[in-house]
Structure 1
Amino acid sequence: MFLISPDKATVNESLESFLIRLCKANGFESYQTMALVIRDWLQDNDHEAAGSWPLTLSRANIYHANHSSGFRVRALKLLDELLDTNSPSMLERCLLNTTTAFSPNLASVSQRNIIIPLKFIRTSTIPVCPQCLTEHQYIPQLWHISPYEACHHHKCELITHCPSCNEQLNYLQAERITHCECGYDLRLINTIKAPTINKVISEYIAGKDVDCLPLRADMSERFGIILWYQNRYLHSKSDDDSSLISFFEHWPQSFFEELDDLSKTACDKQLKSFNQTDFSVVFGDVLTSCQKLPFRTLQQNIVLEAVVDYLISLVEKNPKCKMANLGDLQLNIIETAALLSTSIEQVYRLIEEGYLQLAIKLKLHSRLSPNQGAFYLRQVIELRQSRITPTYSNNMTYLPSW
């Protein structure tokens, strides 16, 4: 055990910040110098793990690794054995690759079983709170997450640029926590009060309960809610997200009113019969954008729950009759899977076993395209209502695979 652990190691500190402080505590000039020493030691103890050890701080986290991620996990575990304290393990500080995706097909990373959209992880600029740096000289993982723009402890805006050189702050490049690359002490910066919306979002993803946003215990769900809102209503970085508070204060009525407007517009501009109209023509990507946030079950996905409730009500208001109505819109396989909280493979099984009837005729030996309208909304809703989603499962299974 030749590595001296930094003082006051905390579980919410980022991996990169811990490695910088580990360098300083052991007298290394830079991370690369320490990395070369660690790689030499690993070469003697596990040559496979040695080859995966990163020499650049910005690539140190596990989610940056591709095929060598398993070896990097092994290397970090071996490094834990060199530390002289019982501080949180290196793996607890890492962002890990995960197979879970947020809709629409957005990759994610995880830390301590919290699933975070990969697009939320900052890479070019890592802002700081000068007051926090005065109290503790390390970088929390929260500062790496883009929706977190205000310190939830001091209610001030995070600082993104150095007031001395006006360069963007990125401690991964400077390898200095309390100072800019130009040498300016970031603890001397005067902070300003953060806007209400920034404080609300930052507190929300920091785990605090906020009255104006959905109270969800699972942090992964909170990230999913913020991601869904930004993808649906913020189309550029310059868009203001201040309406998020008013939108969720009246949830789900505010969302239902929006869907009602889409329904009314479709009826006013109807060009062909609704039983020949794709669901997406009327409602866009309302189903596919919320099918995994990051879970499929209604108990863990309030947006999908609201969409399902609305569509059930829509079908009830438009009963089956001679004249086709909104209840007869055509769903494709992807939308059907989202509405049934299941996988595309399960939908194909439901077709084979006769639980789902096609609304179109396929050519002989042809396979149904996932984007082709093929099922009536009414029939899919009826199938959903005839089955109960298990509360312990993230994916409804209607039929076994055999």
Structure 2
Amino acid sequence: MLSWKCVLIAYSITLLYKVTAYSTIHREVPGFLNRTNLPKRINYQKRNASTSTNNGESPWRCHFPALSQSGLIYLDNAATTQKPYCVIEAITNYYASPCSNVHRSQYQLATAVSNQYEDARTAIAKFINAPSARNIIFTSGATDSINLVANAWGYTHIRPGDTVLVPLSEHNSNILPWKLLEQKNNSNVHFVKLNTDGTLDLDDYKRQLSTGKVRLISIAHASNVLGVVQDLKSIIATAHEHGALVLVDACQTLAHVNIDVQQLNCDFLVASGHKVYGPTGIGFLYAKQEVIEHMSPYKGGGGMVKNLDTSGYELEDIPHRFESGTPPVAQAIGLSKALEFISHIGLSNVRMKGVLSNPHQIASHERMLLSHLDTQLRNLATVHSPPIKHEHVPIVTFNIAGQSPYDLAQLLSTRNIAIRAGR
């Protein structure tokens, strides 16, 4: 939604950490995974956030084969992240070992794979402190998750004349599903203004809520352009006071900020695996139990019904009734490994069930890098990201006067530096 002519840089822990070891491959497979110099078991060694190698590189960088082998300086993590060995290995093991579909058969292999798939669902629930794995629906990504809410919940609960609120800073993926719904049922999509510091304009927000027509606010925890982390607890509480539900897009924060859906009290939360060092083609939707029970499947296929005959059908239990067709099994397993990877390194003050992460490990290191980058860039370029006064994920948006952002991106590419240029 934002109109911008600039270069977007996104720092992420992809540049901060390296592999010390990873777990054993179950069988011989071709390619770099067979290299004899690779360590054999994951040892998520807790390191001080200021630790670096002798040449100034992060000690965690070689967790990522794409970075350790190429010397690439990758600063486009807001778009997608590189993948650590443990994720690559988990996916490789699924395909290199005997595999099966899930929830289709009773033989031992099928049961084992189904258990792995459901364990991945449980891992996601624990990572965001959802009450139950039943609150987690696997999707192909955050875009798919938002469309699921728009169609499975919004189509019956957002009626003609009702309003969906969306901040001006939102990604297209959090606007177009609601615009399409607007065309289908004559609802309205209204935009909420931002303050100059990138936070939501609460006066405008409350004014629009006071109309009594707002049924949902769909908001990114942090914009992929501005990086400012919104005060969700206040935003959600205010929405609930006016009878509106809240959907949170956590794509830009899940790998950087501790997220507790019960503490936030959000009604929906969506995220994509490839933004958190996981595979592409996998994401999830969290929905409160009292909300998910009033959602109706909008896609049909195998795996979502218990019984089907000429007289009718009986839907599967939640959440499987929303997962029609063969699911992304390998990707789900890979995503669970990515979340395990993040948890063992440590988000800021994260305490998961059964896992106490190293406090401030990721957040403090990223804060240091972000502050340094922001300070240096303001001496060289026009920085469009708000000053770092509030909680902020490591994203900086800038341009250089008289220079095309596309030309600058191409120039930096010749130096093996990857950034994003856009409008």
User: TM-score with structure 1 length normalisation?
Assistant: 0.24
Which of structures 1 and 2 has the larger relative contact order (alpha carbons within 8 angstroms, sep 6+)? 2
Higher strand proportion: 2
Higher helix proportion: 1
